[in-house]
Structure 1
Amino acid sequence: MTKLGIIGGTGPESTLLYYRAICEGVQARLGDETLPQLTVESLSVFEVFRYCSAGDFDGLTAYLSAGFDALAAAGAEVASLTAITPHIVFDRLVEASPVPLISAVDTVRDEAVARGADRVLLLGTGFTMSPETNGFFTRPFADAGIEVVLPDAPEIAEIQHRIATELELGVVTDETRDRFVRIIDRVRRSGDIDQVVLGCTELPMVLDDAVSPVPCLDTVAVHTRALVDAAVGA
């Protein structure tokens, strides 16, 4: 089995989602008594936010690259992030990493293409949705012929606040779930959207197809399937 390495802590809750999904995915392929070879290098989502807020993308690259170096030193043969926001510098990380990296953005874009999506709503951190920094996410979708729609500016600020002060700390409330559902519904009513991309890996804690008025593209589910494929050599 190929040994995986993941950057955790960005945030802690999504790291748990990734670990569970990778373990369950490997067991589904190879049997209940088989678990993945996996190393986690835990960094901090709040450091990522600080680098992004300061526009220090060189610093962010160095911070994350050190994590991938540690994973490679621990024997990881392929690695990934467990968060979307750090993909802002993914191209730089690929160049610096001693092992291949699997992009969450590319895997969720490929899933959107497979579903025949033409127009998707992106939800994520303020940095993932901001017009100043969202090109790392919107360009791959645009290149595939898929339009990415964003919430309005006050909604982006509110989503960022709720992610940073609640979801990153493991706090899940019906109020936040209902607020996110209302935002999705407002965008749906203002124009056709095929899917809503859960572009923050904590969002599956509060959103799924059972509550969303639009089908969800769950980045964690899609990305971890690709990591399981890498682990088992599929």
Structure 2
Amino acid sequence: MKKLGLIGGTGPESTIIYYKKIVYGANKIVGKNFFPNINIESLNVFDVLKFCSEKNYDGLTHYIMNGIRNLEAAGCNIISLTGNTPHIVFDTLRTKSSVPLVSIIEATQKEAKKLGYKKVGLLGTRFTMEEDFFKKPFQEEKIEIFSPQGEDLDFVADKISHELEHGIIKEETKCGFLKVIENMIHTYDIEAIILGCTELPLIFDSMNLTIPCLDTLEIHANALISAMELGN
């Protein structure tokens, strides 16, 4: 298998999930005596969010590229970001990287298209929900994509930033997210909900939803394993 490099820390909880899913997923494919070669370059999610809030995308690109260069120097054959929000500069990073980058957004869009969805909801950080970088690939495939609005959007953004990024899980927050999704079903008639923040599986794991979830972390991890297999 090819050597994988992960830009982690965006945030730490999801980086741990990525590592375990990829390691044990590859092990299941290859055999019990195999674990893949992975390097993790851990960045600071709060620096990423600060660059985004200031719309300093050149600074964000430079910050992430420093991590990518370290992974390139470590001999990684494939590199990936472990957060959705940093994908706001993904296209620029792809042009600057000397090794292939695997996009979480492209992988999720392909999965939605394969499943035949025409209307999907999107939850994530404020930047993921408000900006166009996540939505554009879906719209290009004629898939309508909707984010919560007003107080619902504020609730999702606040809970991700102040709770989930710190690994804090509260029962009342779970109930709040469920209400947001039900509002989106009622308002937009969505067929599935995209967990567009890699910390969201922490809170949705035990929730009973009335529509399917597209877990971007799970989809991305599987895409990375497939890309690594091409090195056999």
- Please give the TM-score of this superposition, normalised by the length of structure 1: 0.96
How far 1:99 sits from its partner (Å)?
A: 1.1
Structure 2 counterpart of 1:183, from 176, 180, 189? 180
Tell me the number of residue pairs that the alignment of Structure 1 and Structure 2 aligns. 231
For residues 83 and 60 of structure 2, the distance between their equivalents in structure 1, rounded to whole angstroms, comes to 13
- Superposition RMSD in Å: 1.2
> Which residue number corresponds to residue 120 of structure 1?
120
For residues 194 and 84 of structure 1, the distance between their equivalents in structure 2, rounded to whole angstroms, comes to 21
For residues 211 and 33 of structure 1, the distance between their equivalents in structure 2, rounded to whole angstroms, comes to 36
For residues 47 and 32 of structure 1, the distance between their equivalents in structure 2, rounded to whole angstroms, comes to 39
Which region of structure 1 is more displaced relative to structure 2, 202-211 or 161-170? 202-211
1:1-234 aligned within 5 A: 1-130=1-130, 134-208=131-205, 210-233=207-230
How far 1:2 sits from its partner (Å)?
A: 0.3
Following TM superposition, where does structure 1 have runs of at least 4 consecutive aligned residues deviating by more than 3 angstroms?
A: none
**Structure 1 gap ranges (5+):** none
**Structure 2 gap ranges (5+):** none
* Matched residue type, 2:172: E
Q: Is the 8 A contact 2:77 2:99 kept in 1?
A: yes
Q: Is the 8 A contact 2:7 2:81 kept in 1?
A: yes
- Please give the TM-score of this superposition, normalised by the length of structure 2: 0.97
Deviations 1:89-108 (A, max 9, x none): 00000011121100000000
For residues 221 and 209 of structure 1, the distance between their equivalents in structure 2, rounded to whole angstroms, comes to 15
For residues 170 and 33 of structure 2, the distance between their equivalents in structure 1, rounded to whole angstroms, comes to 35
For residues 188 and 103 of structure 2, the distance between their equivalents in structure 1, rounded to whole angstroms, comes to 29
* Matched residue type, 2:210: P
The share of aligned pairs that are identical, in percent, is 43
For residues 134 and 44 of structure 2, the distance between their equivalents in structure 1, rounded to whole angstroms, comes to 21
* Matched residue type, 1:67: G
Give SS of 1:32's match.
coil
